[in-house]
């Protein structure tokens, strides 16, 4: 499969301003710091991390709601990193986004049909075709086409998120960036929406970037998963491998922190509680950013930032003391390290 989206050394720094009389720049938040990955056609990449890790900022850069500070984003080979409004227009319909809070991302004064129809008109669809397509899209996302006349507040949270998905689909996109699309929903409704996204991906050959704050939800939709911490990718792995053999201690900590719904299984699992909290993103720690909270940290972790290297086919991690590797793997990694340095 060919590359749909290529992200290379992407950086986004937000200036932190302050001062009483004069506007001064006090520092920079390193929201996204040297992130690279490739998304293949039809693939789903999960991006996971705790609050402040830069996952939403990264998502917004990809659909170009934000302009990156450095690096490159290529969509189907076309550089869109700094493209302006006009240059972006043909790409925009291809690149859609679904937001976390459907309450806030749908215009409360517009009917469901108008919201979806508006997107269709942007694509140049006119006349009765708009109504027809709107009804079809509503059906596709599991809503009653007769409800096209309802306002967003007349739908439940799960149904509103379906409208958000239908609006994205109306643009006939090839990539949908989903920013925590099910976080605001009840568990039983989450499962419905996840299954819907699954079906739509097969039906329309969509690619997804699925942003989430924990590792349980992304597992169901992702082919590969990237774990972020303080603006950096700590681990990037084929989805199933990440759960069985996490390489980065941070990933292992995230996994161990999720309580599973089974008391006996819970007691049997390693429940190492990670100490401390994510540090200040304005002044991230030296060396490996996770070292102040890492149970495996040594002197080298404070000084040298570990590069993101391949530990198994397609399985990358940035750690001096990786987990779950056999002796042979360790030697291979040492080799990779010396090459990277």
Partner 1 sequence: MLEVEDLRVEFTTDEGVVRAVDGVSFSLAEGEVLAIVGESGSGKSATVMSVLGLTRAAGARVQGSARLFGRELVTASEHELRGIRGAEIAMVFQDPMSALNPVQRVGDQIAEQIRAHERGLSRAQVDRRVVELMERVAIPRARDRVRDYPHEFSGGMRQRVMIAMALSCSPRILIADEPTTALDVTIQAQILEQLARLGEETRMGILLVTHDLGVVADIADRVAVMYAGQIVEDGTLDELFYDPQHPYTWGLLGSIPRVDRERPERLPAIPGAPPSLARTPHGCRFRPRCPHRFERCEAPPPLELRLDDSPGHRDRCWLEPGDKRRLRLVGGQVGLAAGGTVIA
Shortest distance (Å) from residue 21 CB to partner 1: 23
Nearest to 97 by CA among 168, 45, 48: 168
CB atoms closer than 10 angstroms to residue 106: 21
Shortest distance (Å) from residue 158 CB to partner 1: 7
Shortest distance (Å) from residue 261 CB to partner 1: 4
Shortest distance (Å) from residue 143 CB to partner 1: 12
Closest CB to partner 1 among residues 159, 174? 159
Shortest distance (Å) from residue 183 CB to partner 1: 10
Closest CB to partner 1 among residues 27, 118? 27
Q: Is the dihedral of CA 153, 174, 90, 182 positive or negative?
A: positive
Dist. CA 79–CA 42, nearest whole Å? 20
Residue by residue, DSSP assigns 167-211 as HHHHT--SEEEEESTTTTS-HHHHHHHHHHHHHHHHHHT-EEEEE
Question: CA dihedral in degrees (100, 266, 245, 191; nearest 10)?
Answer: -30
CB atoms closer than 10 angstroms to residue 295: 11
Closest CB to partner 1 among residues 10, 179? 179
* Residues 67 and 88: beta-carbon distance below 8 Å: no
* Residues 255 and 338: beta-carbon distance below 8 Å: no
Dist. CA 50–CA 228, nearest whole Å? 8
Shortest distance (Å) from residue 246 CB to partner 1: 10
Closest CB to partner 1 among residues 275, 299? 275
- Interface residue list for partner 1 (CB under 8 A): 50-51, 156-159, 186-192, 194-195, 198, 213-217, 219-220, 240, 243, 253-266, 269, 271, 273-275, 277-278
Closest CB to partner 1 among residues 105, 251? 251
Closest CB to partner 1 among residues 264, 341? 264
Shortest distance (Å) from residue 195 CB to partner 1: 6
Closest CB to partner 1 among residues 96, 159? 159
Print burial letters for 24-60: b (CB count within 10 Å at least 16), e (below 16): eeeeebbbbbbbebebeebbbbbbbbbebbbbbbbbb
Shortest distance (Å) from residue 276 CB to partner 1: 8
Dist. CA 299–CA 305, nearest whole Å? 11
* Residues 93 and 31: beta-carbon distance below 8 Å: no
Task: Say whether 316 sits in a helix, a strand or coil.
Answer: strand
Closest CB to partner 1 among residues 188, 338? 188
Closest CB to partner 1 among residues 61, 254? 254
Shortest distance (Å) from residue 192 CB to partner 1: 4
Residue by residue, DSSP assigns 118-164 as HHHHHTT--THHHHHHHHHHHHHTT--GGGGGS-GGGS-HHHHHHHH
Supply 179's token pair.
């920013």
What is the chain's length? Answer: 341
Task: Say whether 314 sits in a helix, a strand or coil.
Answer: coil
């Amino acid at each position: 499969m060919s590359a749909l989206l290529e992200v290379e050394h992407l950086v986004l720094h937000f200036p932190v301003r302050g001062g009483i009389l004069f506007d001064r720049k006090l520092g920079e938040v390193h929201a996204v710091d040297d992130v690279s990955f490739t998304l293949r056609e039809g693939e789903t990449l999960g991006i996971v991390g705790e609050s402040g890790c830069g996952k939403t900022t990264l998502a917004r850069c990809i659909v170009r709601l934000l302009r990156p500070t450095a690096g490159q984003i290529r969509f189907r080979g076309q550089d869109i990193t700094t493209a302006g409004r006009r240059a972006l227009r043909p790409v925009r319909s291809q690149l859609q986004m679904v937001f976390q809070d459907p309450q806030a991302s749908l215009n409360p004064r517009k009917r469901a049909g108008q919201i979806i129809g508006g997107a269709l008109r942007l694509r140049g669809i006119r006349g009765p075709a708009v109504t027809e397509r709107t009804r079809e899209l509503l059906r596709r996302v599991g809503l009653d086409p007769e409800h096209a006349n309802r306002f967003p507040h007349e739908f439940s949270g799960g149904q509103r998120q379906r409208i958000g998905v239908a609006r994205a689909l109306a643009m006939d996109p090839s990539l949908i960036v989903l920013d925590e699309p099910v976080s605001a929903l009840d568990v039983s409704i989450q499962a419905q929406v996840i299954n819907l996204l699954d079906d739509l991906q097969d039906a329309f050959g969509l690619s997804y970037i699925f942003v989430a704050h924990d590792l349980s939800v992304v597992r169901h939709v992702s082919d590969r998963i990237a774990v972020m911490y303080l603006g950096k990718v700590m681990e990037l792995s084929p989805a199933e491998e990440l759960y069985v053999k996490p390489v980065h201690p941070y990933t292992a900590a995230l996994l161990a922190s999720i309580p599973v719904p089974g008391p006996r299984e819970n007691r049997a699992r390693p429940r190492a509680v990670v100490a401390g909290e994510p540090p200040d993103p304005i002044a991230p720690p030296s060396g490996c950013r996770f070292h102040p909270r890492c149970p495996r940290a040594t002197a080298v972790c404070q000084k040298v930032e570990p590069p993101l290297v391949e530990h198994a086919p397609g399985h990358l991690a940035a750690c001096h003391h990786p987990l779950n590797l056999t002796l042979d793997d360790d030697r291979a990694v040492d080799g990779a390290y010396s090459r990277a340095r």
